[in-house]
Structure 1
Amino acid sequence: MEIEMKHDALIVSKTDTKGRITYGNSYFIKISGYSEKELLNAPHNILRHPDMPRAIFKLLWDRIQAKKHINAYVKNKTKNGDYYWVFANVTASLDNHGNITGYYSVRRAPSHKGIEIIQRLYREMLQAEMSGGMDASLKLLEKKLQQEGVNYDEFLINLQK
């Protein structure tokens, strides 16, 4: 069953460099269905929904490990198997010397228009991953962006409008 995120709510979480949760705000805890104790030190991918293409997470990790921020539409799974969509902004947390100390994510409610388009795209990407691996999925995404005449960031921002 889909859980719709409150329009004005923000989900905030932090992880260490290995992706283990070190902080989650109260709304993150509530919507996930896990207790704070269950979430802390758990891998963030505890929330990964099987409908998410691996290629999206590759893009995310490549970007944040390069100390750049990224936006992504993400379908998360709750403890009881329900799901919710978010529009996520993920950045690296840096120390005074510019070294990555962890990652910080702020998620908000996604646009309904964006979800409709992203669901179709993610289904196609998952099919490409099953038949040709992650490279096939990434190529499909690149083809879609070329057809739209935008880069990944512009595509997502346009969907969120």
Structure 2
Amino acid sequence: MTSTRAPLTGHERRFAADEIIVSKTDLKGVITYANDVFLRVSGFSESELLGRPHNIVRHPDMPRCVYRLLWERIKGGHEIFAYVVNRARNGDHYWVLAHVTPLLDADGTIAGYHSSRRLPERRAVEAAIGLYAALREEEARHRAPSDAMAASAGMLDELLRGKGMSYDEFVLGL
């Protein structure tokens, strides 16, 4: 396996507005399916992605609290929309508007997760960049990862309360 820790390039990759990046994972977030758009945009081959944790594309600019919220929602059987910056194999990055949903088996039990990612509006990306920088700053004030995540989650909750919005209303309103 090639390292995914190529130095960040600062170069943003884009994909067409009519393209959808699709992946599926098992319950632990291990990739079981990746479509051709995901392969092309991320720069990974199918063999490099399948069987690997989805966080292989995690970009360090993503606040931990957003991932915590994502996992809480999907493990609870709910969908979530989130703006996510991912890291390509070569250190480039790409922004997506992710829609993540649980996959249910015949008994209605969560068997895995499905993510469809679209090209986000530029104004939403700019808003997310500012918000995520503030959340990461808050995380950086704390040594323990759990404290950092709790602090940034509290900051996000406070922001949403101040706006009188749910997380979903906030994200879909960007």
TM-score (norm 1): 0.96
Cα distance in 2 for residues equivalent to 1:152 and 1:127:
20
Out of 143, 146, 153, which is 2:161 matched to? 146
How is 1:59-74 mapped onto 2 (pairs within 5 angstroms)? 59-74=69-84
In structure 1, what is the equivalent of residue 14 of structure 2? Answer: 4
**Paired position in structure 2 for 1:113:** 123
Q: Is 1:51 aligned to 2:61, yes or no?
A: yes
Q: Is the 8 A contact 2:22 2:117 kept in 1?
A: yes
Q: Which amino acid in 2 is paired with 1:54?
A: R
Alpha-carbon distance in 2 for matches of 1:45, 1:141 = 22
The 5 Å alignment of 1:27-106 reads 27-106=37-116
Unaligned runs of 5+ in 1: none
* Structure 2 residues not aligned, in runs of 5+: 1-10, 143-147
Q: Distance in 1 between matches of 2:172 and 2:59?
A: 22
The percentage of aligned residue pairs carrying the same residue is 48
Task: Find runs of 4+ consecutive structure 1 residues off by over 4 angstroms.
Answer: none
Contact 1:13 1:105 (8 Å CA) reproduced: yes
The C-alpha deviation readout for 1:101-138, integer Å capped at 9, x for no partner, is 11000000111111111111000000111114111101
In structure 2, C-alpha distance between the alignment counterparts of 1:56 and 1:147, rounded to whole Å: 18
Q: C-alpha displacement at 1:5, in angstroms?
A: 2.4
- For residues 26 and 86 of structure 1, the distance between their equivalents in structure 2, rounded to whole angstroms, comes to 16
Contact 2:14–2:41 under 8 Å retained in 1? no
Shift of 1:143: 1.7
